[in-house]
């Protein structure tokens, strides 16, 4: 995919997200659409890019009145399309007859849906088609349709994802605790990192899917968003720190690049030592190969290590193991990198290691 195509695809996705947000429960537009469905009526509504929309039709009634859900509901009783401005503040036309180019491609079958799909291809408008016969609402952006689902249907998927998130987070927390112990023992294998990365990706994928449902739920999704944040918590930061700890290039920019690659990789391939090692920048590593962590993730979890201090400590010592080897012999060295309480840092590390009470 070329850069221009990638930009267009990104713009299309963002406009679809905006359309879903505008038609989510709790909005005036969704209230109107629910009334239209409840009244067993159909409708064709064009929102935005009004100059292009008006140029593709004729006749109808010029209104230029303030938008309200009740007015939209009443106007849908007429045939033809309803034209609304981008900001959903003015209803401009009703009973408007749209004539998009019939050669524009669409896989839709019903007349109203075909017109909606073609209008969304011809213009930058969000076009909504309400099927009178099937009683469904479809939002079209760039020729692609998104069917609005009832809250009850979305919640069924949400509950499954929340169970998955909770289970995965529990597994991930256990994996990270075990990894910290292995790091302090200086005995981390590629297999250990591979398993942890896999759990991070499972968690992030579930959270991403849940985000799309939260967007659809609108005002009904606030509690779900809070639960999502509770389960994901600090996982995002810890994932980046883990990658930096073990990648050949430990820069933040490279960690983000690696995360993008892992996120776009099929989860089954994340079980391959060769694949994971290659992305991290290694050659010839097997699942039993020992890897030496920088210690950024472990150090960042200690309260006396302020934001940005872990990087300074790693720059000074080179690795977590070097820090452990030197910390008792020369604790004053930590003063030089700005650690105000070296003894607390040392005690914290040894408690985590289980070597000191």
**Local structure of 1: helix, strand or coil:** coil
Please tell me the CATH code under which domain 149-293 is placed.
Answer: 1.20.1260.110
Query: For residue 252, which of 203, 207, 294 has the smallest C-alpha distance?
Result: 294
What local confidence, expressed as pLDDT, does residue 357 receive? 39
The number of beta carbons lying within 10 Å of the beta carbon of residue 256 is 13
Q: Strand, helix or coil at 89?
A: coil
Q: In this predicted structure, what is the pLDDT of residue 10?
A: 86
Query: Residues with Cβ < 8 Å from 84, sequence gap 6 or more?
Result: 45, 46, 47, 48, 67, 72, 90, 91, 92
The predicted pLDDT at position 149 comes to 94
Q: What are phi and psi of 188, to 5 degrees?
A: -95, 130
Query: What Å distances lie between residue 24 and 58, 192, 202, 220, CA to CA?
Result: 30, 42, 27, 9
Q: What's the confidence (pLDDT) of residue 309?
A: 86
Q: State the 10-residue block means of pLDDT for the chain, 357 residues long.
A: 74 93 96 96 96 94 96 95 97 96 89 95 96 93 94 95 97 95 92 97 97 96 96 96 97 97 94 96 95 93 84 88 80 71 77 63
For residue 109, what pLDDT is reported?
Answer: 84
**pTM of this prediction exceeds 0.75:** yes
Distance CA 324, CA 104 (A): 67
The CATH number of 3-148 is which of 3.40.1700.10, 3.30.70.1900, 2.30.30.100, 1.10.10.10?
3.40.1700.10
- How many residues can be counted in the chain? 357
Residue 64: what are its φ and ψ, rounded to 5°?
Answer: 50, 55
Domains 3-148 and 149-293 share a fold: no
Q: Can you give the residue ranges of every domain in the chain?
A: 3-148, 149-293, 294-357
How big is the chain by its Cα radius of gyration, in Å?
Answer: 28
DSSP-H helix ranges across the chain: 3-22, 28-38, 50-55, 69-75, 111-122, 151-184, 190-217, 222-232, 235-246, 252-264, 273-280, 296-300, 309-317, 320-327, 342-353
53 in Cβ contact with 46 (< 8 Å): yes
How many degrees, rounded to 5, is the angle at CA 127 between CA 124 and CA 132?
A: 170
Please answer whether residues 92 and 81 qualify as being in contact, where contact means their C-beta atoms are separated by less than 8 angstroms. no
Residue 2, pLDDT score: 62
Rounded distance between C-alpha atoms, residue 273 and residue 159, angstroms: 33
**pLDDT for 303:** 80
């Amino acid at each position: 995919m070329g850069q221009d195509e990638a930009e267009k695809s990104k713009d299309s996705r963002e406009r679809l997200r905006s359309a879903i947000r505008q038609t989510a429960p709790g909005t005036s537009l969704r209230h109107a659409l629910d009334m239209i469905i409840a009244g067993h009526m159909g409708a064709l509504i064009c929102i935005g890019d009004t100059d292009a929309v008006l140029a593709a039709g004729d006749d109808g009634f010029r209104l230029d009145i303030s938008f309200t859900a009740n007015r939209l509901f009443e106007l849908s009783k007429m045939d033809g399309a309803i034209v609304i401005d981008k900001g959903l503040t003015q209803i401009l036309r009703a009973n408007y007859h749209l004539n998009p180019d019939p050669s524009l491609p669409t896989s839709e079958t019903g007349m109203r849906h075909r017109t909606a799909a073609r209008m969304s291809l011809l213009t930058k408008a969000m076009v909504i088609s309400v099927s009178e016969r099937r009683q469904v609402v479809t939002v079209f952006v760039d020729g692609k349709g998104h069917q609005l689902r009832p809250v009850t249907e979305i919640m069924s998927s949400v509950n499954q994802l929340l169970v998955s998130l909770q289970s995965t987070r529990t597994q991930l927390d256990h994996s990270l605790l075990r990894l910290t112990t292995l790091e302090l023992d200086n005995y981390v294998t590629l297999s250990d990192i591979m398993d942890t990365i896999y759990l991070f990706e499972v968690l992030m994928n579930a959270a991403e899917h849940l985000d799309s449902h939260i967007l659809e739920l609108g005002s009904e999704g606030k509690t779900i968003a809070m639960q999502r944040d509770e389960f994901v918590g600090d996982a995002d930061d810890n994932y980046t720190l883990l990658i930096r700890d073990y990648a050949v290039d430990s820069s933040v920019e490279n960690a983000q690049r690696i995360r993008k690659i892992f996120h776009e990789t099929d989860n089954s391939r994340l079980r391959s030592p060769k694949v994971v090692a290659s992305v991290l920048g290694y050659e010839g590593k097997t699942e039993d190969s020992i890897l030496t962590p920088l210690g950024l993730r472990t150090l960042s979890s200690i309260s006396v290590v302020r934001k940005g201090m872990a990087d300074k400590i790693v720059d000074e010592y080179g690795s977590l193991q070097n820090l452990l080897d030197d910390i008792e012999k020369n604790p004053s060295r930590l003063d030089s990198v700005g650690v105000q309480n070296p003894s607390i840092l040392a005690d914290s590390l040894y408690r985590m290691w289980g070597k000191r009470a």
